[in-house]
Structures are given as structure tokens and as C-alpha cells.
Amino acid sequence: MRKPFPITIAATLAMVLMLEAAPAEEMPRLITVTGSGSEIAIPDVALLTLGVEADANTAEAALAAMSERLQAIFAALDGADLAEKDRQTSGLGLDPLYAQREDGGINDTEITGYRARSMLTLTLHDIDTVGALVDTLAGAGVNRIDGISFDLADPSEVVQQARRKAVADAMARATLYADAANIKLGPIVSISEPGGAMPKPYAVNAAPRADAAFAMPVARGSLNVDAEVTVVFEIGSEETGAP
């Protein structure tokens, strides 16, 4: 007489047969596109980097000379009504000066003096005053200008416009690809912004004027605010144009 299968073995075989009979769950078919958008804006903030250098025989004397010039520069900034929050020390240094050899080389064993320097970054909310302020500070002791850049005080509105253009570009690309591939574009699965939208300032270099008779002209130019988005769509189950 044949013995019946144990219940556990019979149940296992039944589950295996059910799994084999059930259709495998299909992975969703997706299409991923990246869209970009750009918006042009006129800057309304200037960032000016300038400072002073002073040479002397000793480190103490170089620092003292630099400090004296800085006091005059700060007084000029006070006279220009530049707020404390809009001025920041962005660099400070003290370097030895070496003697020149007769053959043009540098003798690094003999220090002949020191050079002290201090740099300031100024935020100007009225770009039309940049040229006049540079001339005023040059007269107060500024002998080094590293450059000027422009920005937006509030870029939020321009950033939103660039993002809308980026999404519209992604939608247009997805529609084009779906039409070219003869597929149906499904709903959006996700939208992500890889890098974010940031203004790209336009920068110019400037040099101080020793005896300025008029304000140095400054061109503010424009800013490009770029945005990029990645959009993932589902691919529909029906093909477009299928017979």
C-alpha cells in the first residue's frame, strides 16, 4: 500500500504550481529626459574686491603702514554711507621680500623687507555708484583691485522662470522621443533637479586710478540664470499609430 505524501510536501508542490501558473509581474517601462532652461536678468548688486599693500623694512612697520591706510579707507567707506554688513575683510597676509641677485635670481637667504596686505569685499546695492566709490577709495589709499562681479539681490523670480522653461523643455523632448519611437507617453513618475538654478555673474577687472577727475565707468552687463530638470515618464501600454 502506497503511503500518502506528507502534508508539507503536498502544500509546497501546490505553491510551486501556482507560482508557475501566475504571470510574472512586468517591470514598468520608463523614459527619462533632461530639460534645460535659461533666463536673462539685469544685475542689481555689485561685489567689489579691493585692498591695500604696504612695504617696509620690518614686519611691524609694514603692518603699521597697512593699518594706517585701512583706517583712511574705512573712513572713506563711512563717508560713502556703506553699511558695516556690506564690507568684509576677505584677505590678510604678510610676506617677506627677498634681495635680487646680480644674475637676476632670488637669494632666499636674505630678507630685505616685508609686504603686508589686506583685502576687502564690498557689496554695493547701487551699481551706479561703483565707479565713483572706486575713485574715492583709490584716493584714500587703495592700491590693489582684484576685480568686480555682479549678482542679483533676490534671484528667486528669475530662478522660477528658468525652472519653468526647463520643465517645458523636458516635456517637449519626451513628446518628441515618444512620437519618434511610436510609443505612447504615460504619466510622470518623478521630477528632479540635479544641480539647481544659479546665476552666472559677468565679471570684469579694474585698475585703480591715481588721480581720477571723473568716476570710472562700469558696465553691469547681464546674468544668465540656468536651470536643469530630469523628468521620468512611464511608457504607455498602447503603441501610437498601431494598426
Q: Residue 97 maps to which CATH number?
A: 3.30.70.2970
Last residue within a domain, chosen from 110, 126, 151: 151
**Which backbone phi and psi does 83 adopt, to 5 degrees?**
-65, 155
Last residue within a domain, chosen from 151, 174, 207: 151
Is 157 found in the same domain as 40? yes
Is 160 found in the same domain as 140? no
Task: Please state, in angstroms and rounded to a whole number, the distance separating the CA atoms of residues 68 and 60.
Answer: 12
Is 234 found in the same domain as 141? no
pLDDT by residue (tens digit) across 110-164?
Answer: 889 999 999 999 999 999 999 999 999 999 999 999 999 999 999 999 999 999 9
**What letters, b where the CB count within 10 A reaches 16 and e where it falls short, cover 119-141?**
bbbbbbeebebbbebbbbbbebb
Stretch among 20-24, 27-31, 35-39, 219-223 having the lowest mean pLDDT:
20-24
Is 163 found in the same domain as 117? no
Task: Please state, in angstroms and rounded to a whole number, the distance separating the CA atoms of residues 116 and 99.
Answer: 17
Is 197 found in the same domain as 137? no
Is 179 found in the same domain as 119? no
Residue 89 CA to its chain's centroid (Å): 21
**Which backbone phi and psi does 116 adopt, to 5 degrees?**
-105, 145
For residue 22, pLDDT over 60 is answered with no
Is 198 found in the same domain as 111? no
Q: Kindly indicate the confidence band of residue 202, based on its pLDDT and cuts at 50, 70 and 90.
A: very low
Residue 63 domain-assigned (yes or no): yes
3 state SS of 76: helix
Is 202 found in the same domain as 126? no
Which pLDDT belongs to residue 154? 94
Is 195 found in the same domain as 120? no
| Residue given cell 564690507 in the structure block | 87
Q: Could you give the number of structural domains in the chain?
A: 2
Question: Model pTM?
Answer: 0.67
**Which backbone phi and psi does 33 adopt, to 5 degrees?**
-130, 155
Residue 171 domain-assigned (yes or no): yes
Structural domain including 142 reads: 47-151
Which pLDDT belongs to residue 238? 58
**Which backbone phi and psi does 174 adopt, to 5 degrees?**
-65, -40
Is 221 found in the same domain as 194? yes
Last residue within a domain, chosen from 151, 177, 196: 151
Q: Cα Rg for the chain, rounded, in angstroms?
A: 34
CATH number, domain at 167? 3.30.110.170
3 state SS of 82: coil
